[in-house]
């Protein structure tokens, strides 16, 4: 069976460009494991793959729901697995590429998700204090999550009557996981440059359009950049402040992504060009009968 090529790394590490290049050379199709590019109309602010890239290589995981629609990690897992099967059925190589660690792991470690969210229950429980929720868990013999000061997690634990960690201990057999290792300083600089680029590309106009079309408070609009531009349009932040703050938030995102990835010991870390060599050697030998 053709391998599943998984490329992970922090935002702005260059994983998308690498995936596109390899997919062109080796008959691949790309599934974006990205919790933001799934939304339609959010193109610039999410650094969605360009039209050229999307024309050059089939992309999946893009524009699948409207901002405001609910789309979860469990939905993504189902979607991605379907796409992987379809891509293989066409005789192509699937590439799972993205920075949303939970999405990647849901596929790679075959997470078994628990019960669906119960909005009514959640609303009811959110009125209680953390202490009251803890008491409730103890009384009902519900195991508290490790991060038990995170109210959201405690509520979820109640919702599914415990902590769910059902998953495979090892990555699914057909996967090759490569992480793009980037020097910290260089990554920081790339993030700064990308901020400038987003604004040149018209992210302010895009945000205003999205705000009008979908409202500013929808779930999808909580991404780093859009709330900041909302503040800018209301005059509570200058453009320079927005740019600086966005760079900071994006940097923190990159750090959190790295924290997530660090604990996955199955990732093979390479610099961008080494990753390319490694994967193209692997794919070249694989395609020979």
Partner RNA sequence: GCUGGAAUCGUGUAGUGGCAAUCACAGGAGACUGUAAAUCUCCCGCCUUUCGGCUUCGUAGGUUCGAGUCCUACUUCCAGCA
**Chain residues in the site for RNA (CB under 7 A):** 34-37, 45-47, 70-75, 99-103, 106, 111-117, 122, 145-147, 149-153, 156, 160, 163-167, 219, 222-225, 245, 248-249, 251-253, 255-257, 259-260, 262-263
Cβ pair 39, 66 in contact under 8 A: yes
Nearest approach, Cβ of residue 188 and RNA (Å): 8
- Closest to RNA by CB, 116 or 273: 116
- Closest to RNA by CB, 92 or 167: 167
Nearest approach, Cβ of residue 176 and RNA (Å): 21
- Closest to RNA by CB, 5 or 207: 207
Nearest approach, Cβ of residue 151 and RNA (Å): 6
Measure the CA–CA gap between 102 and 106, rounded to whole angstroms: 6
Residues whose CB is less than 8 angstroms from the CB of residue 257 and which lie 6 or more positions away in sequence, other chains included = 9, 10, 11, 99, 101
Strand order in the sheet with 93-98: 59-60, 28-32, 93-98, 4-8, 175-180, 268-270
- Closest to RNA by CB, 107 or 283: 107
- Closest to RNA by CB, 26 or 251: 251
Cβ-based neighbour number of residue 129 at 10 Å: 9
Measure the CA–CA gap between 182 and 10, rounded to whole angstroms: 9
Nearest approach, Cβ of residue 1 and RNA (Å): 24
- Closest to RNA by CB, 78 or 92: 78
Nearest approach, Cβ of residue 156 and RNA (Å): 5
Nearest approach, Cβ of residue 33 and RNA (Å): 9
Calculate the CA dihedral of residues 141, 147, 148, 153 and round it to 10 degrees: -80
Cβ pair 101, 261 in contact under 8 A: yes
């Amino acid at each position: 069976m053709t391998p599943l090529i998984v490329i992970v790394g922090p935002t702005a590490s260059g994983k998308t460009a690498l995936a596109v290049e390899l997919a062109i050379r080796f008959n691949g199709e790309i599934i974006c494991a990205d919790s933001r590019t799934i939304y339609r109309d959010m193109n610039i602010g999410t650094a969605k793959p360009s039209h050229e890239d999307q024309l050059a290589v089939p992309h999946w995981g893009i524009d699948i729901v409207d901002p405001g629609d609910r789309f979860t990690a469990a939905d993504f897992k189902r979607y991605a697995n379907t796409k992987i099967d379809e891509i293989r059925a066409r005789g192509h190589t699937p590439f799972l590429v993205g920075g949303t660690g939970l999405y990647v792991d849901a596929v790679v470690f075959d997470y078994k998700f628990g019960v669906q969210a119960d909005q009514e229950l959640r609303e009811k429980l959110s009125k209680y204090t953390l202490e009251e929720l803890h008491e409730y868990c103890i009384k009902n013999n519900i195991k508290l999550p490790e991060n038990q000061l995170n109210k959201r997690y405690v509520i979820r634990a109640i919702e599914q009557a415990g902590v769910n960690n059902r998953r495979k201990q090892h990555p699914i057999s057909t996967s090759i996981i490569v992480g793009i290792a980037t020097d910290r300083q260089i990554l920081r600089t790339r993030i700064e440059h990308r901020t400038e680029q987003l604004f040149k590309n018209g992210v302010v106009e895009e945000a205003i359009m999205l705000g009008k079309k979908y409202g500013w408070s929808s779930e999808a609009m909580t991404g780093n950049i859009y709330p900041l531009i909302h503040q800018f349009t209301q005059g509570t932040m200058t453009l320079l402040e927005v740019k600086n703050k966005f760079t900071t938030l994006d940097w923190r995102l990159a750090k959190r992504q790295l924290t997530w990835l660090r604990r996955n010991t199955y990732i093979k870390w390479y610099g961008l060009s080494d990753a390319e060599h490694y994967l193209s050697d692997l794919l070249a030998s694989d395609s020979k009968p």
